[in-house]
Amino acid sequence: MSWFKQVLSSTIGKKIIMSLTGLFLISFLIVHLSGNMLLFKDDEGEAFNLYAEFMTTNPLIRIISIVLYAGIIIHVIYSLILSLHNKKARPVGYAEARPQQNSSWKSRNMGILGLIILIFLLIHMRSFWYEMHFGSVPTKSYAGVEVDDLYTVVVAAFSQWWYAGFYVLAMIGLAFHLSHGFWSAFQTLGLNHRKFMPMIKKISLLFAIVVPLLFASMPVYFFIKSLA
């Protein structure tokens, strides 16, 4: 077996893959959040629609999107492989285990939190991504250029209380998943130097609060706006 194959089939190799794909997905979240913040611009969705058009038609971004889908799939598959492996290695569990004392609630429930995010993603992609690529999204013209009016699709989706509420709940799940996943990725990659780890943990917590909070503010804002 080659060195690379050997690393991939080891537990640490699988954890490294989880960490690298996780950090890549985190970088996607920053880009996606920055673009979506254009939804708050008071221009009837022009900036957001033009941004979405660029993101879905630019050839380089389309290639990055394919890498992103692959990143999501690999992250999910390796999480399943690792949890099956852990179950096989310890089918009965330790008699004296005190999980509450030895690990945090988040670290023990990363799988469940990940599943919540996966369900969120499937529903999210169906609502926006699928509609944009295969559905019938209304169009708008800006300076003679006709683009999909995704802003109207987002506004309509978030005017439904259950849909907006589902997003807020999913973002709480995302917050917990990130608050453990972010720093633990650094630890797996061996970047857990005594000097830097407290700072990485602080940045991780800040990221896990701010990013999901800003994402959740979108459905909340548009739901409240729809009541007016």
Binding site for ligand HEM (CB under 6 A): 32, 36, 52, 55-56, 65, 68, 117, 121, 124-125, 128-129, 132, 150, 154, 167, 174, 215, 218-219
CB closer to ligand HEM, 17 vs 137: 137
CB closer to ligand HEM, 101 vs 136: 136
Closest residue to bound ligand HEM by CB: 65
**Closest distance to ligand HEM from the beta carbon of 225 (Å):** 13
∠ CA 103-117-49, nearest 5°, is 140
**3-class SS at 142?**
strand
**Closest distance to ligand HEM from the beta carbon of 146 (Å):** 17
d(Cα 218, Cα 220) in Å, to the nearest integer? Answer: 5
Tell me if 174 sits within 8 A of 215, measured CB to CB: yes
**Closest distance to ligand HEM from the beta carbon of 208 (Å):** 12
DSSP string, 20-46: HHHHHHHHHHHHHHHHHGGGGSTTTTH
CB closer to ligand HEM, 152 vs 192: 152
User: Helix, strand, coil proportions of the chain in percent (round to 5)?
Assistant: 80, 5, 15
Tell me if 4 sits within 8 A of 10, measured CB to CB: no
**Closest distance to ligand HEM from the beta carbon of 48 (Å):** 8
CB closer to ligand HEM, 17 vs 116: 116
CB closer to ligand HEM, 17 vs 216: 216
